[in-house]
Every structure is written in structure tokens, then in C-alpha cells.
């Protein structure tokens, strides 16, 4: 017996959403529980009410489909549904289950639903469960793409965060907590309520006052850790409690 599937649709075109909703209604065991006209409303709704599969348009105002996925954690299985065929490679790089080109034929949609079921039955990781290699970050009215491998550290600055990249600062409107959720904890560690650093860029750690440390990065940048993040930093560096620390 087929597993029941809770589905959501994200598309800025009302007619496209309505048509896809009708087609999915004909698929046994599929229930469309939510429809969203844009990425921001989908992010809010899906965090409060997760689904099994997301049928997602690519080109939308404010946030396109790929940028929206980078901000959505955890992610459901994803099927891209778009009028443009040229995004297929990027879609599968984002670990989509399938890529459908509008207008979607009913039999093609049926095969896509079966792929979703197979992925869930096999216990495959949800689409995009791996940490992203690049981030889409708000920079005024634009979205700036940043390679995660280039980030040395992140420092909160009020309603913004500053990313240190190649010795320069990039200020973007983002919260530190939301950004931290998108970074691999094996690669980055939070050393202070307002600071995140890349572990392999740490050159030296010096004891400071009252359980704090001065963290020296390979670029020469020096950051002070917070007392409440002492153990996170020590665990990230593989240091037992009480040992004085220096990383060659």
C-alpha cells in the first residue's frame, strides 16, 4: 500500500498552482496541504508545518527556487516544476528527486510521485540535506552568492552579519543563528554569541580571562571567544578540558 504523501506547492503563478493541485488530486494517496505564492511565505509555512514533498518553481520574485532551498532546513523531498529546461543540471545538483517542465503531463507527474515514494521508502536523505556549498544571502535588493569554502569567519553586527572572505568583509542582512544552521558543524564552530569561525583556519588558541580564549586565525585576525562557548571550541579542536592550547 502506498504511503500517504503530504505535499506543498510553491509557484508565483496562481493558474500553475491550481493546475498542479488538480493533477496531484488525481494521484492516489497524495494530499496537497499547502500552497505558497512565493519563497518567503513558503519558508515561514514549511518551518511551521513540514511536508513530505515540495513541488517548487524555479523563477520567482524575491527568492528563486534554489535560493529558497538554501534557506529551508530541514528540507523535504523536492520536485522542481518550471517552464524552463535549462535549470535541470542545477536542480539535480541540489539533490532534487525530479525535474518537470510545464505544462506537466499527468503520466509524467505520476512517475515523479513514484520516484518520491521510492526515495522515502529507501530512506534517502531529504533533498538538500547535505550542507550547501554556496549560500544565497540578501545584499540590499539583490541576492549575493557566496562560496562556503571561502568563508573564514562570521561576526554579527546588529541586524547584519559580516563574513570575512579573503581578508575582506562582506556585510549582509542575516541572523547569525540562521546562518549557523546552514553551515556544517564539522567545518565551523560558534566561539561566541556573535562569532563563528572556520575550524581549519584557526592557527592558535591562547587562554584568556575567565574561561575565554583569544583565537588567532591564519589570516592574522584575532577573535575573543565567549565563556559559554568554551567547550564547543575545545571539542572542535579535539582538546581535553584543562589543557593549554596551541595549534601549529
Note the pLDDT of residue 128.
45
Report how far residue 43's alpha carbon sits from residue 41's, in angstroms, rounded to the nearest whole number. 5
CATH number at residue 30: 3.40.50.2300
Q: Do residues 40 and 113 share a domain?
A: yes
Domain of residue 13, residue span: 5-122
Please give the model's pTM, rounded to 2 decimal places: 0.54
Which residue's entry shows cell 503563478?
13
- Runs of H (alpha helix) within 123-202: 176-180
Q: What percent of the chain has pLDDT over 70?
A: 90
Q: Which of 32-36, 130-134, 168-172, 242-246 has the lowest mean pLDDT?
A: 242-246
How many domains does the chain contain in total? 2
Contacts of 1 (CB under 8 A, 6+ apart): none
Contacts of 16 (CB under 8 A, 6+ apart): 57, 81, 102
Among 66, 97, 122, give the residue marking a domain's end: 122
Q: Report if residue 157 sits inside a domain.
A: yes
Q: Report if residue 129 sits inside a domain.
A: no
Among 74, 94, 122, give the residue marking a domain's end: 122
Please compute the mean of the pLDDT values over residues 175-181 and round it to a whole number: 82
More confident residue, 21 or 147: 21
Among 58, 87, 122, give the residue marking a domain's end: 122
Q: Report if residue 245 sits inside a domain.
A: no
Q: Do residues 152 and 75 share a domain?
A: no
Q: Report if residue 244 sits inside a domain.
A: no
For the chain, the average pLDDT equals 86
Q: Do residues 188 and 81 share a domain?
A: no
Q: Report if residue 174 sits inside a domain.
A: yes
Degrees (nearest 5) of the Cα angle 52, 131, 93?
Answer: 75
Q: Report if residue 70 sits inside a domain.
A: yes
**pLDDT tens, position by position, 73-112:** 878 999 999 988 877 777 767 788 899 999 999 999 999 9
Q: Report if residue 127 sits inside a domain.
A: no
**pLDDT tens, position by position, 102-123:** 999 999 999 999 999 988 876 6
CATH number at residue 202: 2.40.50.1020
Q: Do residues 51 and 22 share a domain?
A: yes
**pLDDT tens, position by position, 127-177:** 444 567 788 777 766 778 888 999 999 999 988 899 999 889 999 888 888
Please compute the mean of the pLDDT values over residues 45-64 and round it to a whole number: 91
Amino acid at each position: 500500500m502506498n504511503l500517504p504523501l503530504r505535499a506543498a506547492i510553491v509557484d508565483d503563478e496562481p493558474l500553475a498552482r491550481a493546475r498542479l493541485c488538480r493533477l496531484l488530486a488525481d494521484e492516489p494517496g497524495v494530499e496537497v496541504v499547502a500552497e505558497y505564492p512565493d519563497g518567503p511565505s513558503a519558508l515561514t509555512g514549511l518551518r511551521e508545518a513540514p511536508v513530505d514533498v515540495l513541488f517548487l518553481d524555479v523563477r520567482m520574485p524575491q527568492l528563486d527556487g534554489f535560493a529558497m532551498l538554501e534557506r529551508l532546513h530541514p528540507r523535504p523531498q523536492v520536485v522542481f516544476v518550471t517552464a524552463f529546461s535549462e535549470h535541470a543540471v542545477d536542480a539535480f545538483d541540489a539533490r532534487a528527486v525530479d525535474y518537470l517542465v510545464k505544462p506537466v503531463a499527468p503520466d509524467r507527474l505520476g512517475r515523479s510521485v513514484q520516484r518520491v515514494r521510492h526515495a522515502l521508502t529507501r530512506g534517502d536523505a531529504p533533498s538538500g540535506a547535505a550542507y550547501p556549498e554556496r549560500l544565497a544571502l540578501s545584499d540590499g535588493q539583490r541576492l549575493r552568492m557566496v562560496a562556503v569554502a571561502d568563508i573564514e569567519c562570521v561576526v554579527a553586527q546588529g541586524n547584519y552579519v559580516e563574513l570575512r572572505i579573503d581578508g575582506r568583509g562582506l556585510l549582509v542582512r542575516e541572523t547569525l543563528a540562521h546562518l549557523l544552521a546552514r553551515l556544517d558543524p564539522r567545518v565551523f564552530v560558534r566561539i561566541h554569541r556573535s562569532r563563528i569561525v572556520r575550524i581549519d583556519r584557526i592557527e592558535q588558541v591562547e587562554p584568556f580571562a575567565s574561561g575565554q580564549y583569544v583565537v588567532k586565525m591564519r589570516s592574522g585576525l584575532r577573535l575573543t571567544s565567549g565563556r559559554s562557548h568554551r567547550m564547543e571550541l575545545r571539542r572542535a579542536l579535539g582538546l581535553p578540558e584543562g589543557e593549554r592550547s596551541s595549534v601549529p
